[in-house]
Every structure is written in structure tokens, then in C-alpha cells.
Amino acid sequence: MPKVIEHDIIILGTGLAGLRAALQIAMETKGELNIALVSKVQIMRSHSVSAEGGTAAVLRQDEGDSFELHAWDTIKGSDFLADQDAVWKFVKRMPHEILLLDRWGIPWSRRPDGKIAQRPFGGHTFFRTVFAADKTGFFEMQTLYDTLQKYTDRYTRYDEFYATGIVVQDNTFRALVGISMPEGEIYILRGKALIIATGSANRMYGFTTTSISSTGDGMAMAYRLGIPVKDMEFIQFHPSGLIPSGILITEGARGEGGYLINNRGERFMKRYAPKFMELAPRDIVSRSIMTEIEEGRGFEGPYGLDYVLLDLRHLGAEKINRRLPLIRELAIKFAGVDPIEEPIPIRPVSHYSMGGIDVDLDGRTIIEGIWAAGEAACVSVHGANRLGSNSTAECLAWGYFVGKDVARYAKEKELRELPQEVADAEVRKITDMLAKDGPESPYQIKRELNRTMDNKVGVFRDKQNLEEALHTIKELKKRYRNIHVKDKSLTYNTDLMMAFELKNLLDMAEVVTEGALRREESRGAHFRRDFPKRDDENWLKHTLAYYDSEKDEPRFDYKPVRVLYWKPVERKY
Ligand SMILES: Cc1cc2nc3c(=O)[nH]c(=O)nc-3n(C[C@H](O)[C@H](O)[C@H](O)COP(=O)(O)OP(=O)(O)OC[C@H]3O[C@@H](n4cnc5c(N)ncnc54)[C@H](O)[C@@H]3O)c2cc1C
């Protein structure tokens, strides 16, 4: 029998977005609201801890920065697909978040005059990225976690709790279902409100910077409930993934002055972005690197991972050790290269989902009582291409907005009834999955999915490759129905967890690929060789993918972009 527990608010995901929301709710109330904090890994293992380079905010109006400039950079970076009211709300909030973290004790890197230091980042026309060396996410998470310790009476932790389903009745949220892995027990967590903060789906790619846990669970659960996912075809490829693991080498390395070099020793970015050079936005730098490699100016790498070089040597040992210690450690341990003495081999790597669960400016979805925040959501601040250091920022900003809105909502509402038959059906999905005994290996299916996404839905796309990828994904979905789950217990059953995750990855990969096939233009991170131009007349619109449960596939619709202050112009850097 599943354990049924009542809470007021359930936060699914304890990365930056989830923790910031939890803190806001705890501070907004005097303990009258009871929060469940749910994570499939231990809190501090959420992917957010690996954020490296920093968090963007306007702090130096006296030195020439402004909200208008941050908003303009973000909108231009987004290739005009961002909703401009969302961007405005975002940039105005960010300075408060930086100063709050400062007050809560984060060790921001400082300037010699004692002020909070900021470094240049791609696509930002002002040095506005706040950082704590190159371990920003780790320190942000630590600070939120620490501050949350003041409110331990207001929340219950469910660490290593794998959520499998959401119970909804009459279009309102009722409960979250999942497995406590250490206990091997199934739980039904009832609540008035749910915040989905489950991060990205980028593990659909094999060569990626994201954690093993970034499998789009929240996005896919929301999608199958009937909530649309938005702009999923826009996957960010970060220019500098370490060869061969794909571990991220932060953009901060270029922000501190690093060069990109081809096999002729040239700083090739002068051909593609003469003004911004290495600090052009990520979509442009990634395409430039891939062009160099395709035209024979790269280096031959292992497993077909040809690469170019990121050269930091001219920065000197002192600066590398002070500003980029993690990068140095990663390059030494995972590539055998000390950046003080040798350039680092890198190539573009799948990094971030610009798309996500469709939400309004307060983070609300179309189902009452369900919000989404962070990388799982799409507000949309980033449009077709996110600027570096705007994501941790978005997580903090919408953690705050959503936390505030949810606290207000939960104070007014009563706990609604739990429809037993719907809850039972969700629980049955776990036992059915556990019983799976077919001939197909989920691990093999995942490998084939990864290979397909890496090879056919990458930096450069075209009709033929996307059609082939979609065909393969549909075949893999069919094979998935006949998988086996070998471990039959419920305690720490990673086999079972992986089976659920794979379903989520397959569904989201299908949406990404079909969305990319339909979008016959090039915008931001979505580049079609067969449609190399941006087409505002036909495609200045958001993609919405709804789940068609009868056909088990997405149905596509579109909605306008809120272009309120700045008209789209050609993007030049
Ligand atoms: C290596 C790396 C470096 C980065 N560096 C930067 C940077 O310097 N600046 C910047 O702005 N951005 C950066 N980003 C992007 C940014 O870090 C992320 O977008 C952001 O941290 C995502 O936070 P989140 O709160 O949305 O989710 P995450 O931190 O990904 O957390 C997701 C949470 O959901 C939980 N969860 C998921 N599924 C389930 C389930 N089924 N059941 C229970 N729990 C579940 C997980 O356990 C986890 O707690 C970086 C990203 C990577 C990968």
C-alpha cells in the first residue's frame, strides 16, 4: 500500500529554481504552510551545483550598464523569440537576487575596491556576469541550502525520491506519486500546489554537459498531462565541451580572455564575429567552430570528436588559478592537459534546453495548482538562444516569483480531495513498469537515441537528417514498449528509474525533432542548412507541442511572440 502524506506545497526539484522557491515560501509564511522538497538525487547533487561561469545582473549603472541594455542583449541574443515583457521582468529582478545572496553569505568574487566583481560573457555588451571563481552554481546552491536551514520546521525533505506521475482531477492538481528509493516505498504526496523545477532534458544527447539526472522528467510528465511544452527545438550547443567527455569548460574562460584557435594557429572568430570575437553568443560561436572543423581546419579527435583549441596560456598561472581553478582541474583530470601550459581541446556540446513547460509570467501552467520554474519551464526569457549566465539568473528570479505566487495561492486554498481511482492508476504505472519482461534492453535504446540526436539533430540541421531522426525515435518508442526491467525490487532500483527516464527522453526527443523539422527557418540555436535565413513573416512565433494520447505523439500549434519594445533587426556581432 502506498503511503499517503499531506502537504500544502510540493516542490519537485531542488536545483536553484526549486531551492529559491522553497526559501521564498518559507520566508513568506510563519510556518502555516508545509512544504515537501522532492529530489531524485540528494539536494546538493542537482545539476545546478555544476554551474560554473556566473549569473548576470545589472549592478553598475554608475559605470554604464542599464536594464535596457541587459534586456536588449537578451532579446537580440534570443534572435527576437523571447517575450519582451518576460525579459523586462527578469532584468529588473536580478540585482535584488545578487544582493540577497550576498547578504545570505555567498563568497562572490570581488574587485580590488571591494565591490562585487563582474566578468564579460558572450553576447552581453557590458561585463555583467557576477561569479564566485568558476564554481558559481556550487556556491549559490550552498548559500540557498544554508539559509533554508533557518526554516527546517517549514519543510520536509524527500531526497532520492523518484517522482513518476502527477495526479490531476477537473483540471486541478491533487497529488504527486513516486518512489522513495532508500525505503523502497511508493508514496502519494497530496498538496494544493506543485512547482515543477526538474531541470533539462539534455540527456537525450550523448555528448552533453548535463548531469545523468537531466532527463526531462517534469517536462514529459507535464506534457503527458496535457500541458504544452514550448520551443523545444531550440537546444543550446555550448561552444566548449571538453574532449572526449563533454564536460563543460565555462564561457568564463573566454570571458577572462581565452582565444579559440584552429589547426593553422588562427583566431578564426575574426571571420564570423569580427567585433565580439570569442564573446559572440553561443549559437554563433558553436556554428563557427563546426564550420572550421567541417572545412578541415580542426584537429582529429577520438570517437569522431574532432575539435579546435581553447588557449588560456597568455592569461598566466596566477589568473588561471584565481579565476578558473575548476577549469584547470577538469582539464588536467579529464583531458590530461594543464591549461597553464597547453591549449584545451574543445568542441560544441549539447548544454541547455531553451524550451520547456509553457508558463505565464508568474510561472503558472494551464492546470490550476501547477507551476513550473527554472530550466524545465519556458517563460520565455531566452527565446531561440540563451545568453551565458542568464539561466542561473532566471532560476533565481522565477524561484522568487513562483515562490511568492504559490505561497499566496496556498494560503487561500483548501486541500482538495484525492480521486482514488486516478491515484491508483498512477501507482499502477509503477508496478506495471516493474513487471516489464520484454526482450528489449532500455540501455541499448538509450544509446541509439543518444547517437541519433548527436548525429542528426545537432548544430546544423536539415530535412533529411531530421526526418531520419524522427523515424528512428518513433521506432525506438515502439521497441520501448517491450523493454525489460531486470531488478524487481523497489529499493534503490536504478533500473526502474532509468526505464521511466528513458520514456521521458524519448517523448521529449520526439518533440524536439519534429518541432525542428517543422520550423523551416534558421533562428538562434536552430540552424537549418536548407533554410539558412530567419523568416519573421512566417516563423516569429512560439512552437507549442501538445500530447495526443490516442496517437501517442505530439500535436503542434503556435502562438505569437510578445514583441513589445524592440522590433526584430538583423543580428550582427
Ligand atoms: C555544467 C553546467 C554549467 C552551467 N553553468 C552555468 C552558468 O555558469 N551560468 C548560468 O546561468 N547557467 C549555467 N548553466 C545552466 C544552469 O546551471 C541550469 O540551467 C540551472 O542550474 C538549472 O537549474 P534548475 O533548478 O532548473 O534544475 P536542476 O539544477 O537541473 O535540478 C533539477 C532537480 O529536479 C530533480 N528531479 C528531476 N526529475 C525528478 C524526478 N522524476 N523526481 C524527483 N526529482 C526530480 C533533480 O533531482 C534536481 O533536484 C550550466 C549548466 C551546466 C550543465
Domain boundaries, the chain: 240-348, 421-538
Please tell me the distance from the alpha carbon of residue 425 to that of residue 428, in angstroms, as a whole number. 5
Q: Can you list the pairs that 87-91 forms with residues at least 24 positions away whose Cβ atoms lie under 8 Å?
A: 87/381, 88/565, 89/361, 89/397, 89/401, 90/379, 90/381, 90/390, 90/393, 90/394, 90/397, 91/58, 91/67
Q: Any catalytic annotation for residue 124?
A: no
Judge if the beta carbon of residue 55 lies within 6 A of ligand 1.
yes
Which CATH number describes the domain made up of 240-348? 3.90.700.10
C-alpha cell at 500: 521511466
User: Does residue 379 contact residue 542 with C-beta atoms inside 8 Å?
Assistant: no
Q: Is 38 touching ligand 1 by the criterion CB < 6 Å?
A: yes
pLDDT of amino acid 31: 86
Which residues make Cβ contacts (< 8 Å) with residue 503, sequence separation at least 6? 220, 480
In this predicted structure, the answer to whether residue 320 has a pLDDT above a threshold of 90 is: yes
Q: Does the CB atom of residue 392 touch ligand 1 within 6 A?
A: yes
Check whether domain 421-538 has CATH 1.20.58.100, yes or no: yes
The Å distance, Cα 42 to ligand 1 centre, comes to: 13
Atom of ligand 1 nearest to the CA of 376: 26
Three cell numbers, residue 68: 535596457
Catalytic-role residue among 7, 174, 190, 238: 238
Give the bridge partners for 177, in sequence order: 165, 188
How open is the CA angle 423-427-430, to the nearest 5 degrees? 155
Query: Could you tell me if 255 and 387 are in contact, meaning their C-beta atoms sit under 8 angstroms apart?
Result: no
Does the pLDDT at position 1 exceed 90?
no
pLDDT digits (tens, 9 = 90+) for 137-166: 999 999 999 999 999 999 999 999 999 999
Q: Is the CB of 395 under 6 A from ligand 1?
A: yes
- The CA radius of gyration of the chain, in Å to the nearest whole number, is 23
Q: What does the block give as the cell for 515?
A: 518541432
Cell numbers 531524485 correspond to what residue?
40
pTM, entire model: 0.98
Mean pLDDT of 292-309: 96
Residue type, 436: K
Q: Which amino acid is at 143?
A: T
Confidence class of residue 419 from pLDDT cuts 50, 70 and 90?
very high
Q: Quote the mean pLDDT of the chain.
A: 97
Percent of the residues in the chain that have a pLDDT greater than 70, as a whole number: 100
Mean pLDDT score, 527-556: 98
Closest CA to 534 of 364, 385, 337, 422: 385
Q: Exactly one of 190, 254, 282, 542 is catalytic; which is it?
A: 254
Find out whether 98 and 393 touch, Cβ atoms under 8 Å: no
Q: How far apart are the CA of 375 and the centre of ligand 1, in A?
A: 7
Q: Please, how many CA atoms are within 13 Å of residue 254, restricted to the half-sphere of its CB?
A: 28
- Cβ of 84 below 6 Å from ligand 1: no
Whether 238 sits among the annotated catalytic residues: the reply is yes
Nearest Cα residue to atom 3 of ligand 1: 51
User: How many C-beta atoms surround the C-beta of residue 38 within 10 A?
Assistant: 29
Q: Ligand 1 pocket, 54 CB below 6 A?
A: yes
Distance from residue 15's CA to the centre of ligand 1 (Å) = 5
| Cell numbers standing for residue 216 | 526531462
* Strand pairing report for 35-38 and 9-12: parallel
Cβ contact 214:349 at 8 Å: no
In ligand 1, the atom with minimum distance to the C-alpha of 501 is 41
Q: Exposed, middle or buried, 182 (CB in 10 Å: 0-12/13-18/19+)?
A: exposed
CA of 389 to the centre of ligand 1 (A): 13
Angle between helix 442-456 and helix 494-518 axes, rounded to 10 deg: 30
- Could you identify the residue written with the cell 545546478? 48
Q: 14 in ligand 1 pocket by Cβ < 6 Å?
A: yes
Cβ 412 vs Cβ 107: under 8 Å = no
Helices 84-103, 136-148: inter-axial angle, 10-degree rounding = 70
Q: Flag whether pLDDT at 529 surpasses 90.
A: yes
